[in-house]
Amino acid sequence: MEQNNRQQTIRKETLIKGVGLHTGRKCRALFKPAPENSGIKFIRVDLPGRPVLEATLKNVVDIIRGTTLGINDEVRVYTIEHVLSALNGLQIDNLTIELDDNEPPVADGSAQEFVKALRECGVVEQNAQKNILKIETPLEYTANQTLIRIDPSDTFEIDCEITYDHPMIKQQRFVFRRGDDYPKEIAPARTFCFDYEIEALKKKGLAKGGSLDNAIVIGPDGIYNPEFKLRFDNEFVRHKTLDLMGDLMLLGQPLQGKITAKRCGHGHNIKFIEKLMEQLRGE
């Protein structure tokens, strides 16, 4: 998939059902084509007035173990990053996602099911040109051991590296460029956590829908999942790339630039995007 110059949406609707990773609630997500220049929007069709949440940075209200959108105090959509990543990977600019609860289905913890459903509908070009955000000035975000920087490039690329003090992960690096096969190389990479984190997550009311069907759970000696097999040797860093591609959709326009990310995660991703927006606004 080369960089597409025209905006894209899908040809027809498609429905995905399942439970949310953190809330554990059943949800139906109906993906619908949307007009040019309308962007990505979530609609809570179960609430009075069907509130619309645009997938943009200004609507991000929480970044603990996932990216959450919200408006006012009560309207929320949790864990949007895997859906948004699929849209980034397929270069879809305009889409409406109708939800009848507060978190899209987690599926298998990757973006594979979304990619499959959207491709089956057909991704179609629209008339308007893409409004590409071309990076002209480098920008660097650092916090503790995390670094995320962006440099000018003639395409969109991510060079992602993770470092964990665990024999199964240690250091992994993965490079993705626009034109690489997102559906094959990134979409299947599943979310992961460590066994010792689960209790704490549940105490915070998170990961209620989490199970060995939708997350890789890592213990001291290996992974707990019954098939005991990773989809890639470096599935973990591929998933971090997947998440970052999802969060970058919150810019509201396709990005042209080279991102280097070390030890990134949702909190840092969002702070990096905030800093980037400030620079672009000239603050």
Q: Is 112 in the site for Zn ion (CB under 5 A)?
A: no
Query: Residue 191, interface with Zn ion (CB under 5 A)?
Result: yes
Closer residue to Zn ion, CB minimum distance, 46 or 195: 195
CB 128 within 8 A of CB 45: no
The yes or no reply on residue 67 touching Zn ion (CB under 5 A) is: no
Q: How far is the CB of 271 from Zn ion (least distance, A)?
A: 17
Q: Is the CB of 106 or the CB of 135 nearer to Zn ion?
A: 106
Half-sphere exposure of 188 (CA within 13 A, CB side): 10
Stretch that binds Zn ion, among 35-43, 173-181, 200-208, 243-251 (CB under 5 A): 243-251
CA pair distance 191, 161, nearest whole angstrom: 16
- Is residue 243 a contact residue for Zn ion (CB under 5 A)? yes
**113 part of the interface to Zn ion, by CB under 5 A:** no
Could you tell me if 230 and 218 are in contact, meaning their C-beta atoms sit under 8 angstroms apart? Answer: no
Q: Which stretch binds Zn ion (CB under 5 A): 172-180, 205-213, 215-223, 242-250?
A: 242-250
| Shortest Cβ 165–Zn ion spacing (Å) | 20
Contact 150, 138 (CB under 8 A): yes
Which has the closest alpha carbon to 114: 83, 139, 153? 83
DSSP for 154-218 reads: SSEEEEEEEE-SSTTTSEEEEEEEBTB-HHHHTTTPPPEEEHHHHHHHHHTT--TT--TTTSEEE
Rank residues 34 and 192 by Cβ distance to Zn ion and give the closer one: 192
Task: Give yes or no for residue 234 binding Zn ion (CB under 5 A).
Answer: no
Active site residues: 266
Query: Does 88 interact with Zn ion (rule: CB under 5 A)?
Result: no
Residue with smaller CB distance to Zn ion, 230 or 280: 230
Question: Is residue 231 within 8 Å of residue 188, measured between CB atoms?
Answer: yes
Q: Is 85 in the site for Zn ion (CB under 5 A)?
A: no
Q: Least distance from C-beta 265 to Zn ion, angstroms?
A: 9
Residue 253's nearest CA partner among 136, 91, 62, 127 is: 91
What is the nearest approach in angstroms of Zn ion to the Cβ of residue 162? 13
Among residues 94 and 113, whose Cβ is nearest to Zn ion? 113
- In whole angstroms, how far apart are CA 276 and each of 145, 259, 279? 19, 12, 5
Question: Contact residues for Zn ion (CB under 5 A)?
Answer: 191, 243
